Amino acid sequence: MRRFILVTLLFPLYSSAQSFAGRQTTVSVQGTIQMPSMVSINVISAIQSISINSFEEITSGKIYQSFFQLHVKSNKAWTVSAMTNTQHLSSITIAGTQKIPANILSLKAEPGNDFVHLSNQPVALFHNVNNQIENTYKVDLKIDGLLNYYGGDYTYNIIFIVSAR
């Protein structure tokens, strides 16, 4: 008896969204979904030090192909920019007392882009060309000829920035 009473009480609650005599009933639910723009970048460099070893490299410069590998994750269109943290390379030896401008460094995202000279202001390198959430790019590094500068050891700091467009 108790089960019959319980089923009798619950049955109207269960069937409240059902229709009688073949009519259709519709119930809708509204809500919000918060999804921010998300972008991230990871940079890998297989080479940590750069060597200028010949007069040809001092005169003409040197290109390191695939010097950096950039992995970008984003749920929105994005742009990757790069900059140096100072206007000049930093000397780490007494021999390197001359200020070498940071714009002797330039980057090119493969494939097909031109080299872009770096400065202490962000410059756009490339942007997404597809709708994939994850993309990996190889970036070439070019050092212009250093004919007018003294020898020495210098450090550089390249900052990569990814931003939603």
- Collapsing DSSP to helix, strand or coil, 67 comes out as strand
| Cβ-contact 82, 118 below 8 angstroms | yes
Q: What element of type H or E holds 161? A: strand 158-164
Kindly indicate the confidence band of residue 155, based on its pLDDT and cuts at 50, 70 and 90: confident
- Going by C-alpha positions, the residue among 113, 109, 104 that lies closest to residue 154 is 104
Domain assignments of the chain as residue spans, ordered by start: 39-164
CATH topology classification for 39-164: Immunoglobulin-like (2.60.40)
Using only C-alpha atoms, the chain has a radius of gyration, in whole angstroms, of 30
What value does the mean pLDDT of the chain take?
A: 83
pLDDT at 87: 92
Q: Cite the beta strand spans of 2-157 per DSSP E.
A: 39-45, 62-74, 78-84, 90-91, 105-109, 116-117, 123-127, 134-143, 154-155
pTM for this predicted structure: 0.75
Tens-place pLDDT, residues 72-128: 999 999 999 999 999 998 888 776 567 889 999 999 987 778 999 999 999 999 998
Task: Tell me how far apart the alpha carbons of residues 133 and 56 are, in angstroms, rounded to a whole number.
Answer: 42
| pLDDT value of position 17 | 53
